[in-house]
Every structure is written in structure tokens, then in C-alpha cells.
Structure 1
Amino acid sequence: MSYVVRDFVVVFGLAAAAARFDSWLFWPFYWVAQGTMFWALFVIGHDCGHGSFSKDPNLNSVVGHILNAPTLVPYHGWRISHRTHHQNQGHVEKDESWNPLPQRMYNSLDTLTKNMRFTLPFPMLAFPVYLFMRTPGKTGSHFHPNSDVFLPNEKKDVLISTASCLTMVGVLARLTFVMGPLMMIKLYAIPHVVFIMWLDFVTYLNHHGHHDKIPWYRGKEWSYLRGGLTTIDRDYGLINNIHHDISTHMIHHLFPQIPHYHLVEATKAAKPVLGKYYREPEKSGPLPFHLLKELSRSLKNDRYVSDTRDVVYYQSDP
């Protein structure tokens, strides 16, 4: 809970300072810093969704909504689909997050759709589309209780989370009326876009884009362990602590019940056991600019996988 308090103190402190100074010299710093803090709040909400925040599921739910609603993420809707992602990590068809396109589907895409998926900055703005429409080849919405990703006994939870997001929209509308549209764009809307970019950036790089060829699986070749071993750790320099070490990602996928503040320790303990299956992340300076190059390289080369084989690797356009 101390991490929740820490992050909210920083969020409100940044907002108060920005509103007080209202200077174009300060706003760019605020947008980047506040968007990063929105992302940090989301990561703790992500722990709540895994049950690694608390042993009490009710406390997880309450704190998860408090952390996720400010960024308009439906806690239960996303929690459930994220559970599907963890249960199927590395499976070509069943994975839920940035899973690869089979070659036949890739070839059927029109030029505009390909550009939107593989040309920056569009892939880094995908999260709201995913919340409303999920990924290509899958139907439903994280806001709608009848989506096929939800079980019948989960519909009430989904409605509660959707209502929490609608309540936040109402709060934002009221603040816009009181403070004016321009101030709310500067205080909330632009940092929210930065948050979305952080989420897509980190999520993509934790599952894609490595110089070593990383397999995807189908059928009997897939297993939970094999899928977890396809995830990738990354080093974000100073951002590691700010976003709660979420990019020590392999151990998180193998043992999602480990809370974020033990991920580094657990990774150090697991590395001798994992041996060659652990990919040591490239060390960053204070800021992870080297990962921008990795992202660009991956979007250019990691386009689709074979339609048929059970162990496949990304291929690029001829």
C-alpha cells in the first residue's frame, strides 16, 4: 500500500505544480512525468488483478478500481482478459496480447491496416482500441459483459468496472466545466496519451523484438512453461523503479503471484535455474533510448508467422 500512497502523492503533486505554474516551460516535463506516473499506477493495479497485491480479493478489487479508473481502464474487464493472456502466453492463436498474425491473415490486410499496426506511432496508441475491440481475429469489448472472453459469473464484475470508468468520465466532464477544456487537456488528456504509449511500448517489448529468434507455439508444442520462457526482460534505467520493475517479465509470467517489489530478487534467484533460457537484458543508461531502436527494428521485421507449423518464428516481408 505504501507504493499506492507514493504514486498518488507524486501524481497530485505534479498536477498541483502544473496548475500553479501554468507555464509552457513546465508543461512538457509535466506531460512526460505525469503520463509515466499514470503508467506506474496501472502497474500496481495490474498486481491487484493477479492477486499479488493482497491475499484479500476484495481489497485487490477495491484498490484495483481506485488505481485503474483514473486511466479509464475497466479493472475487471482487463483483469480477466489479462488472465487469458497469462494462461496462453506464446500461443499463436490463443494469446491475448500482441499475438502474431498468421501469414494468411497478414496478407489479407489492406495497406492502411498494415500501416496502423506496424508504423510508428500508431502501434503505441493501440491500447484504447484493444479495450473496445480486442485484437484482430477476436471479438467483444472489455466494457461489455457479454463479450466471449468473460464467463457468465463474471458479467456483474465487468459491469461494475465499466460503471467505474463511466463515473470517471463524469468526474472529468465536471472538472472540464470548472477548469476549462484547455486546462484539462493539459492536465489530463496529454498525460493520458503518454500513459497509453508507455503501456503499449513496455507490453510490446516484453513479448516481442529481440535479436535472438523467439518461438511461438501451437497445438501440443505449447505449454505454460514454454510460453512463459518466450517473454523478455528489459532494462529501463531510472524508469525501472518508477514503473515497479514490471519489465523483469519472465519471472512474472512464470510466477504471476510474486508482487512487483520481489521481481528483481526472484529473477536473480531463478537465473541459475533458467540457464540459457534466460535472456539477459541489454543494460540501459539513465533513460531507455536504446529500446526505441529495438522497437523500430521489431516493427519492421516481425510481421507474421507461418499458417501451419506448430513451432513458428516471426518473418518479415520479402
Structure 2
Amino acid sequence: MASWVLSECGLKPLSPVFPRPRTGTINPSKPRFLYTNRSLADLKRLPFDKFSSGCFRERNWGLKVSAPYRVVSLDGEEDNKVNGFNGVGGEEEIEFDPASPPPFKLSDIRAAIPKHCWVKDPWKSMSYVVRDVAVVFGLAAAAAYFNNWVVWPLYWAAQGTMFWAVFVLGHDCGHGSFSNNNKLNSVLGHILHSSILVPYHGWRISHRTHHQNHGHVENDESWHPLSEKVYKSLDGVTKKLRFTVPFPLLAYPIYLLSRSPGKSGSHFNPNSALFLPSERKDVITSTLCWTAMAALLVGLSFAMGPIQLLKLYGVPYVGFVMWLDLVTYLHHHGHEDKLPWYRGKEWSYLRGGLTTVDNDYGWINNIHHDIGTHVIHHLFPQIPHYHLIEATEAAKPVLGKYYREPKKSGLLPFHLIGNLIRSMKKDHYVSDTGDVVYYETDPQLRGSSSE
């Protein structure tokens, strides 16, 4: 009868706030649903449009999220918003916190990647070696044949890039993603890396440390942040050189000799703190191979003259070093949003890996074996480089906003130089305390890192 009267008056009875349970009773202080780390689609299914603001205002529901819940009050004004859901069916983009623990596990990402992406084809890997070595010798022969100052700058740019491509193949040997044959990986790794003056095992071991500790302030090995204490202990010249382009792009040989500021050791010394006692024989082998290559270069300088060797090998080597420093730095810096670094209990392998950055290098992507597709590589270094793009596309739905889509490059990635310069101007050190930290800026250096 009451319903008929209300309908005749043009009114509808109010819907109940909670559906009637089949059994038992509902304790209003303990709601039947608590959603944390849910997707937008999940949140839309919550009956927030039925919540009265008077029921929930100024109550703590124990939700550990970076932004407070918001619901819509009876007068239609927003009270609180939930992860972009405004309670009326609309969406609002809110700031994403990259330091928040992800709602997925490493196994979830692994399961999303097709099984064939994990398969290592040694013949396919070898085909890239043959291709790159043929291009290297072809470029050198062409430059020596023409031998004029119109060709030399073009040769240096091209050959420096090819040296970097050769390094990436040796890098795959070091990860074991080249093939399942450890002897093949080791032999080719030594040949490829020694040819560009990289101690294969010495670098392989320190790079393994980098992957195992990526995103950790103290334990990371490659372009990790300086703590405020270490940063302030540096003299003014060192600070200026470290954060003023192009000097940081020449750091790799120094890193091989003495590591980064605040750390000690050498990639050539088998007794270095970088290595375990069981790894000393490997380090000695790599150092001997490096020495043999250096001796070969000295012999070639007598055979063809030091100037010719400088033009054919020396300048391209500098180009390779600049490529290596640029790419490895931008794997972990330069994004338009600040990305976290971790310490202590806040660090995990997954959270550290999710702070790495993919970059698009345009025409160079294929030449340097898609090394810019770096997030999935950091999480799963066993995946061969020729499967990284497919694996990344498959993992994106799981990663969600934790994956930052790279800006599309033109033919050549000139936009990344701007990313590097901008980062060098503001990313100087992190706090000595705190388990989740972000780069801070030294005002005295802010204007010194320039083009």
C-alpha cells in the first residue's frame, strides 16, 4: 500500500544501503567488502552510489592506500574519490604513485609471457653475431678505402654504434640468453667483449649484481644514486664532471678501473670486493683476454700507424663508450616523472625492476638489438633480445601503470639527449635516510649541467 501511494505521488522508495544477507547479520563497523589494490573495473562494481555520506564520514576503514577514499554526498558534491572513480559512474585521472606495492606478483608477469619467448635459439643468436661482425669489418674497409674527411665522421658515428651492438650481444652471452650452452656463451662473450676492451667475466659478474639489486640505493651497481653524505664528500670538480654533459658519457672505462664513487674495486683485479673467491679464475681469464686485445692494438699501431688506428678504432671506441653510458643511464633515469629508489624492507626484486625505463631509439632499435626494451629484460634477463618486444606487449596488461610507455622516437633518438640533460640538472643525490627515496637537487649544480 505504501509503495502504491509513493508511486502515485511520483516518488520511489529508497533502495536499501546494503543488500539483505542470506544468513546472519551485518555489522556496520565491519563492511562485507574491503578492496585494496583493485583495478578501476573492480571499483566500478562497488555500490558507492548507494552510500550515504553520513554513514562513512570521518571513519577509518583500515584501507592502506596512497589516496583516501571519496564518496558522493547526498547533495551531489564530491566528498572522497576512489582511484579515479567519482562515485557517479565517471572517471577522473589521479596521480599514480609508482612506489606503491604492485597488486601483482612476478609470477603473474611470467605467466602472461608466451612460452616461446623463453626459447633461446643459438643459430638465430649466431646470425646476429655474423651480421654485426660483417658490418664492422665492412665499415672499416670502406673508410680505409675512401680515406677522406667527408667519410670519416660518418664512419665514426656508424662504427661506434656497431661497437655498441657488439657489446649488447656479449651482454646476452653474460646473461645466458644467447644460448643454453655455457661454453658457447663464454667463448663468444670473451671474443665480443675483448674486441671492444671490456673484461667479459669481470663485467658479467658486476652486471649480475646490478640485476639482482636493481633499484636499491646502496646495493645497485650501475648508475645507482649517490647518498647525500657521499655526494657532499665529493670535491667540486668531481661533482661538476659527474653531472655536466658530455663528461658522464665518458665514465665507463673509469668505472671498469675503479667503480663508482663510494665503492671500491676493479673489474680487472681478481681480488676485488666485486668477486667471490670462486670467481677469481674467471676474472683472471678475462683480464688476460683484455690484455691480449690491448697488445694486438699496440701491434696494429706499429703496422698501420697510430693515426690510422686512432681513426679506425680509437674514435669509434669513444663513440661506443658514449652509447653505453647514455643507454644504461637512461634505463634508470630521465623519465618525466620522479621514480623511487628503495632501501631495507621496502626493496624487492619486483619493485626495483619496475623502476626501470623503456626508451625508443627509432632506427637504432634494431641495430642495438632492442636493448631499449628494458623493463622486461631487467625482470627476466633470460629472455633473448629478439623476443623482448613481444614479451613486453604480452606483459603490459599485467603491469598497468607500472609500465611507462616510451615516447616514440623519430629516425634518430635526439629527444633522449634532452632527457639526459634534464636529469643531470636535477638528479644529484638521495637522502641518507628513508626506505623509499627520490632524487634531490643541489641548487649550486642545477645550472651547471648544460648542453
Counting only pairs closer than 5 Å after superposition, residues 105-124 of structure 1 correspond to structure 2 as 105-124=230-249
Instruction: Establish whether residue 38 from structure 1 lines up as the match of residue 159 from structure 2.
Output: no
Q: 1:251 aligned to 362, 376, 379, which one?
A: 376
- In 1, Cα distance between equivalents of 2:275 and 2:229: 28
Partner SS, residue 207 of structure 1: coil
- In 1, Cα distance between equivalents of 2:133 and 2:233: 45
Aligned residue-pair number: 318
- What is the CA-CA distance between 1:116 and the residue it aligns to? 1.3
- In 2, Cα distance between equivalents of 1:115 and 1:264: 37
Q: Which amino acid aligns with 1:41?
A: V
Determine the structure 2 residue equivalent to 1:211. 336
Instruction: Establish whether residue 178 from structure 1 lines up as the match of residue 294 from structure 2.
Output: no
- What is the CA-CA distance between 1:139 and the residue it aligns to? 1.0
Contact 2:371-2:385 within 8 A present in 1 as well? yes
Determine the structure 2 residue equivalent to 1:286. 411
Instruction: Establish whether residue 267 from structure 1 lines up as the match of residue 392 from structure 2.
Output: yes
Partner SS, residue 195 of structure 2: helix
Instruction: Establish whether residue 146 from structure 1 lines up as the match of residue 271 from structure 2.
Output: yes
1:46-83 C-alpha deviation (Å, 9 max, x unpaired): 00000000101111000101110011000000000000
- What is the CA-CA distance between 1:307 and the residue it aligns to? 0.6
Instruction: Establish whether residue 301 from structure 1 lines up as the match of residue 301 from structure 2.
Output: no
- What is the CA-CA distance between 1:120 and the residue it aligns to? 1.1
- What is the CA-CA distance between 1:247 and the residue it aligns to? 0.7
Say which structure, 1 or 2, has more relative contact order (CA 8 Å, 6+ apart).
1
Determine the structure 2 residue equivalent to 1:313. 438
- In 2, Cα distance between equivalents of 1:259 and 1:44: 10
Q: Which amino acid aligns with 2:427?
A: D
Q: 1:187 aligned to 312, 324, 329, which one?
A: 312
Determine the structure 1 residue equivalent to 2:212. 87
Partner SS, residue 230 of structure 1: coil
Determine the structure 2 residue equivalent to 1:156. 281
- In 2, Cα distance between equivalents of 1:224 and 1:89: 7
Partner SS, residue 61 of structure 1: helix
- In 2, Cα distance between equivalents of 1:254 and 1:162: 29
Q: 1:131 aligned to 256, 259, 264, which one?
A: 256
- In 2, Cα distance between equivalents of 1:285 and 1:186: 29
TM-score, length-scaled by structure 2: 0.70
- Identity percentage of aligned residues: 71
Q: 1:11 aligned to 136, 140, 144, which one?
A: 136
- In 2, Cα distance between equivalents of 1:29 and 1:305: 40
Q: 2:153 aligned to 9, 23, 28, which one?
A: 28
- In 1, Cα distance between equivalents of 2:365 and 2:322: 16
> Which ranges of 4 or more aligned residues in structure 1 deviate by more than 3 Å?
none
Higher helix share: 1
Partner SS, residue 215 of structure 2: coil
Determine the structure 1 residue equivalent to 2:68. none
- In 1, Cα distance between equivalents of 2:322 and 2:266: 20
TM-score, length-scaled by structure 1: 0.99
- In 2, Cα distance between equivalents of 1:56 and 1:153: 21
1:203-237 C-alpha deviation (Å, 9 max, x unpaired): 00011111111000000000000010010000000
- What is the CA-CA distance between 1:42 and the residue it aligns to? 0.2
Determine the structure 2 residue equivalent to 1:102. 227
CA RMSD of aligned residues (A): 0.6
- What is the CA-CA distance between 1:137 and the residue it aligns to? 1.4
1:14-56 C-alpha deviation (Å, 9 max, x unpaired): 0000111111110000000000000000001000000000101
